[in-house]
Structure 1
Amino acid sequence: MEKPTRLALLKEIAEFLNEETETYNMIQSALKYLIEGTTFTTGWIFFIDDDGQHELVAHYDLPGALAKQNCKYMCEGTCWCVQAYQNKKLTKASNIINCSRINLANRAFHEESEGITHHATVPLRSGDELFGLLNVATPYKTSYSEEDLELLESVAFQIGSAIKRIALTDQEKEAARISERNRLARDLHDSVNQLLFSVKLTAHAAQGISNEEVSRKAFNIIEETSQQAVNEMRALIWQLKPVGLEQGLVKAIQNYSDVLQLDLTVSVEGLINLPSNIEENIYRIIQEGMNNTKKHAQDTEIKLKLAQNQDYFYVEIKDYGIGFNMQQTSYNNSHGINNMKQRAKAVKANIDITSEENNGTQIYIKVPL
């Protein structure tokens, strides 16, 4: 199949990126367009955070040596291009003369290198904002022409602009979701919650004036059921709208633990003073962790540590329940876990969740400030 011209390829990628609304799907597909539309045969993309920690977020047609053991050699250790990127020395598309990742992989699986020994790299950026690196390679090729590098820079700029656009769109959607949640929380509180409370009071009153034992028992059941419904409604309203967050993160968490009837111990180091976006997302992550303890841990004890300094905000959430097996497929597909990870990513935080059966669950969050 004949390759498109470079101008046609850039147009094709641009049209695709303008329609895409999800970052990871966009990156993977854009990489596929690039590799299939050029003489490059493989490529991979890293996201890199402010600490220099890199995440392999997309790859296409990697040679066997690099793909082995779930891309082990791509994910572990460091390399020149990531270090140069972190040190602000990698500002344009460049040839990489010596790649430690490729060297280690080829040394371990030399029969599966497929001729890949060198690669080219280019930062993904939008204006002054950097997101990571785009790398490409071709068998038995040790350097790339200026024309190839210019193409890489153009594609990298397109992808970087798309990442920024999607992030801004997601922020607008999140603001709209928060507004709608707040409206729904108010409506539930003013209507359904008040009706349930009225039913509870009426049942209690009727129980006191009834002379029949059967009636009194029925009204008692109605009262208890109504109280349970009121408790559930309060918890739902708290999930929709963190009432009390205006009094601070610690107060909101303590109030929510009371709603869930959890035994919460909070320790604080430093002055907790967070931007509203970080505070909202961190609260939602902690809230999700507390919900999981309530639903699954078969225990009510939670220990929470919050610490802030001039560089980081740090959170530890620990329960002492039954835990779970992190190797199970259901863990990776958990809506709650994925929601916590997405919220962490929204504030550029690192989140680490660990658990063992019969040994509780721990959540660690580190947010750069």
Structure 2
Amino acid sequence: MDFSLFYFADDGVAESAAADRYALLLEGARFADRHGFHAVWTPERHFHSFGGLYPNPSVTGAALAAITERVRIRAGSVVAPLHHALRIAEEWSVVDNLSGGRVGVSFASGWNAADFCLRPEAYQDRKTGLLDQVRTVRALWRGEPLQVIDGLGLQTRVRVYPPPVQPELPVWITSGGDPETFHSAGQAGFGLLTHLLDQDIEQLAEKIAVYRRAAARSGGSGEAGHVVVMVHAFVGDDDAAVREQVRAPLCGYLRRSLDLSRSHVPATHPLAREHDHERAVDRVVARAFDRYMDGGGLLGSVATCLDRARRLRDIGVDEVACLIDFGLPATQALQGLDRLNSVRRMSQAET
């Protein structure tokens, strides 16, 4: 099982140190490049401070390509309905050239309505044409022309420049846990990027089995059969110490994520009722914190995190993407990378 780094910082935490906003991203990528981590993933923003450091993963990917030599540069994720397929292929082809052929993209349909201020008309049908758009991007990547309407209203055919280094674009589909998305990604022959935010390991195991069965019948393309799971990660000296070290930053991070999600909960949900809001948020955050600490993340000692990595490997995870920028000071998060690397080395030595 491969180990990668994953980023999705809350920019509200970084506002007091604007000059150092990207220190953890850049130094973490350099560490990953030197020490045998497989990839570095950066996301696409939600017009909110949560994730606000990463408006466009091709921009951060270009920066990472320039300072690394080996580690793969990936988007987790590109919200495909917000963009023209030509722009996606074009931008990532540049990053592929800058990196010498190290890019990969996970595509998502999107969920946050505010994101669609870029293309409001795409919101209602955002899931319908996702896989077709991904196939269009991959065709452009291979150098195939796309028929379009130009500024004079005439049909013309265009290609993407510069041509990429890799002959095929490695592709994943992002799923928050919908079994249908797992099945569709496998059936289409693409890889799968998911997380443990709204599902436990047992539920994930069942969905991975659904994905594997569909992928086995797909004939294979992109990254068919490859499962990546994002987990919050910080490895320390012992479990009790880590629990106290991450409690305040992780709870604050979870609280900000709920602030982003609040406009999307049903009117009957406690989070949607103003007089219940703070109490409901406190309960949700406390439960989520305990779940991550007790098995939903790589949070704890080397021995504890190694055991959790084994569980992920045993249910069929091919790559664990370790989210490290959930609010710990950058120096502290970077210090934890040595122990995370120990987990990686010991895990890979067992296989």
- Please give the range of the TM-score, normalised by the shorter of the 2 chains: under 0.3
- Of structures 1 and 2, the one scoring higher in RCO (CA 8 A, sep 6+) is 2
Instruction: Return the index of the structure with the highest Cα Rg.
Output: 1
Per the normalisation by structure 1, the TM-score is 0.24
